[in-house]
Amino acid sequence: MKFSLSWLKQYLATEATVDQIADTLNAIGLEVEGIEDPAAKLAGFRVARVLTAARHPDADKLQVLTVDTGEGEPLQVVCGAPNARAGLVGVLGLPGATVPANGLVLKKSAIRCVESNGMMCSTRELELGEDHDGIIELPEDAPVGTAFADYHGSDPVFDIAITPNRPDCMGVYGIARDLAAAGLGTLEPIAKVEIAGSFPCPVEIRTDDPEGCPAFFGRVIRGVRNGPSPQWLQDRLKSAGQRPISALVDATNYMMLAYGRPAHAYDLARLNGAVVARRALAGETVTALNEKTYTLDAEMTVIADDAGVHDIAGIMGGEHSGCSEATTDVLLEIAYFDPERIARTGRKLNLTSDARSRFERGIDPAFLDTGLAHLTGLIQTLCGGEASEVVRAGAAPATPKVVPFDPALVDRLGGVSVPPDEQKRILESLGFVLAGPAADAAWAVTVPGWRPDIDGAPDIVEEVVRIHGIDKVASVALPRADGVARPTATSAQKLERRVRRAAAARGLQEAVTWSFLPTPEAEAFAGGNGGLWILANPISEDMKAMRPSLLPGLLSAARRNLDRGASGLRLFEIGRRYLRGDAGASDERLTLGLVLVGEKAARGWATGKAVPFDAYDAKAEAMALLAEAGAPVDKLQVMDEAGPQFHPGQSATLRLGPKTVLARFGMLHPGVARQFDIDAPVALAEIHLDAIPPRKGAAGFARAHYAPPALQPVKRDYAFLVPAALPAGDLVRVVQGADKANIVAARLFDDFRGQGVPDGQKSLAIEVTLQPGEKSYNEEDLKAIADNVTRAAAKLGAVLRG
């Protein structure tokens, strides 16, 4: 929300400085994001008088001016403005000044071989208006030599962040009210304006959708003269970031920005029949003021006439019925719309506007008549015209909210002692009405209509503490037991930290993605997860589904990086995936997702072509991270059924037994890759950290002190003939478990199929590491171990190769 200091002072009588206002805004919860001082942009510009004007010797459209700057000798300036003449008082930009409109730094230069010492400026170049036909003409008595910033005056502009619960501060008057309550001045009351109509309203106005539009008020003003709005109004709108359009449109925007009350003006000549607030018909279309066409459905409220839809209610007007310079009769509309309906419609259409941001947060339902009267008076002041009687269709919610409140709650909940009299002053200055005592409290507090965020007594406590001063709340340390503090991290938190550090140490880059996904992307990874969680109130239509996997978010992040020229990516993320549990309960599971995209190694003299990632890279990362997480990786089985998102011939799962899946890995299915618009090869893995069984008798991840064995290890090689379909990992696992007292490791180092190996079989060579304990092995010991190995291998159909 942007507003100028002069606009604020229209409603707040104060002598406070800009810094004092900014400090107070921050203190009461209206965070100041920036303060723009227009005078700073005008540094280096000076009021100057043209002494002489002569034709440029080499250019018909240029003149050579001598300009009095009030200091020293007159300067020579080349100027092409048609109104440049001797005696004119204007604005001269001196060398070194920066032109606000285009950022040009002025310097002494030669124009067509004639020296020029600066530039005479137009209003557009100084961003003071749209006039660019000539240079600024100031009054003849303007003080020559004065800095133009001092002559023009400074009107600082505040830019503050409005939290979603404060719709009352989406108008300058609401901000002034808060500052007055904080003691920074006196709030000017809203003037009571009553404009009696001089003729019956010629247009039928009604609401056929009382749920979406409970109240719809309007009146006609005939005989208006539309045109540019006055400079003061244009300056106010520009300070708020709005572009002045015409007097009629600017008047409605002024009402919205001043009081937080959106309204709309229709060109009466472009309407046909009754003007009605109703539900849209499925498939109806409307071209909005942003020149885009929107298709509506039956859950949306619109303003229409007999010819069709003219307005997406509470969000944006239609292009067809907008006011123009030719408009002579207007219909003013001011209404109350259901906030939830406005929010849902805006999300469905992916359409934002200043009106939507106010209606969906909640506006004051009691401001309809007052707002319409003020808007009528402003338009008549700017454009003339004769107003009709007001037509009121429906009624806005009128039952005030009354909250029982005990002043002692401020001390108990807020942690600061505020006298009851001061609490009463604060609340009444914010518009609350106090009566009492209530049935179960000291006061019965009536909440003003512009504060829909106030639901109960704790909200009133917040208001008192906010205005009294949050900085006055004493900092009190939480109680704690004597002695050394005990660790508070849970085992899941420790696991998450450990795995995150391990992934980063392996060269993976952490990504943080949304927990919400577009529905098609979520459905691509929802197989077997019991359905998706679809949000009833999403941030946007592209964030409706809770993620069933971390992989879609990582794939989208990878695509964005590839689109920006990345050749290879190693991304990971640790977070929750959201599944449907029993009886529709939410089932959140701690998961690690990783995506390897593009080139694993760039092309070079040693590798030749660039080396892409493959499924074994994803498996290696998954195994390493599972080991860091404390999973028994030596017992893991490699099995299929990684899921339809993976390439069926280049993927697998890592399991403890047939049912407990700890991870799935492999190459991305080509169809899913096309859905995410990724052309590069993608290897990916998903580790289910919540499925890792806890270590028996182990406290967290503490490791025993490393003590190297006294004797050197012994290595023995075994070559087995096995069926060709037997996974090598199964044989390695069986061999390593053949003699747990002596075998500490087993590793496959050869897989041979060819001459000397029978058809339907393969030769697998395994290196076995033995670790002697108290004494070295003798021949009998080694033979016994070898026998154990061959017997265990025989259970899988393996025969020791001769």
- For residue 354, the number of C-alpha atoms closer than 13 Å in the C-beta half-sphere is 24
Distance of alpha carbon 181 from its chain centroid, rounded? 31
User: Can you read off the two tokens belonging to residue 37?
Assistant: 């001082």
Amino acid identity, position 584: G
What gap in Å lies between CA 733 and CA 633, rounded to an integer?
10
User: Can you read off the two tokens belonging to residue 344?
Assistant: 């849902």
The DSSP element (H or E) to which 595 belongs, if any, is strand 586-601
User: Can you read off the two tokens belonging to residue 361?
Assistant: 């947060």
What gap in Å lies between CA 342 and CA 361, rounded to an integer?
9
Contact criterion met (CB below 8 Å) for 445 and 403? yes
Q: Is the dihedral of CA 181, 182, 188, 191 positive or negative?
A: negative
What gap in Å lies between CA 372 and CA 390, rounded to an integer?
9
How many helices (DSSP H) and strands (DSSP E) are in the chain?
Answer: 20, 41
Sort residue 301 into left (φ over 0), alpha (ψ -120 to 50) or beta. beta
Q: Is 82 exposed, middle or buried (0-12, 13-18, 19+ CB in 10 A)?
A: exposed
Phi, psi of 779, rounded to the nearest 5 degrees: -60, -40
What gap in Å lies between CA 694 and CA 631, rounded to an integer?
8
Residue given tokens 């070194």 in the structure block: 96
Contact criterion met (CB below 8 Å) for 608 and 699? no
Q: How far is residue 784 from each of residues 546, 738, 779, measured CA to CA in Å?
A: 57, 11, 9
Contact criterion met (CB below 8 Å) for 550 and 592? yes
Asked whether residue 194 is marked as a ligand-binding residue, the answer is no
Counting every residue written for the chain, the total comes to: 802
Q: Is the dihedral of CA 309, 314, 317, 322 positive or negative?
A: positive
Asked whether residue 453 is marked as a ligand-binding residue, the answer is yes
Partner residues linked to 686 by β-bridges: 593, 664
Q: Which residues 6+ apart lie within 8 Å of 477 measured at CB?
A: none
What gap in Å lies between CA 569 and CA 558, rounded to an integer?
7
249: closest CA among 183, 187, 327?
Answer: 327
> Is beta strand 509-510 parallel, antiparallel or unpaired with respect to 433-435?
unpaired
Asked whether residue 463 is marked as a ligand-binding residue, the answer is yes
Asked whether residue 462 is marked as a ligand-binding residue, the answer is yes
289: closest CA among 243, 227, 233, 229?
Answer: 243
| Secondary structure, 3-state, 27-75 | HCCCEEEEEECHHHHCCCEEEEEEEEEEECCCCCCCEEEEEECCCCCCE
Contact criterion met (CB below 8 Å) for 88 and 135? yes
- For residue 589, the number of C-alpha atoms closer than 13 Å in the C-beta half-sphere is 23
What gap in Å lies between CA 642 and CA 685, rounded to an integer?
10
276: closest CA among 245, 303, 236?
Answer: 303
Upstream peptide bond of 437 is cis (omega within 30 degrees of 0): yes
> Is beta strand 443-447 parallel, antiparallel or unpaired with respect to 75-79?
unpaired
Q: Please state at what angle helix 420-429 crosses helix 172-181, rounded to 10 degrees.
A: 170
Residue given tokens 């050869």 in the structure block: 750
What gap in Å lies between CA 354 and CA 313, rounded to an integer?
13
Contact criterion met (CB below 8 Å) for 784 and 716? no
| CB atoms closer than 10 angstroms to residue 746 | 20
Residue list, annotated binding site for Mg(2+): 453, 459, 462-463
| Annotated binding-site members | 453, 459, 462-463
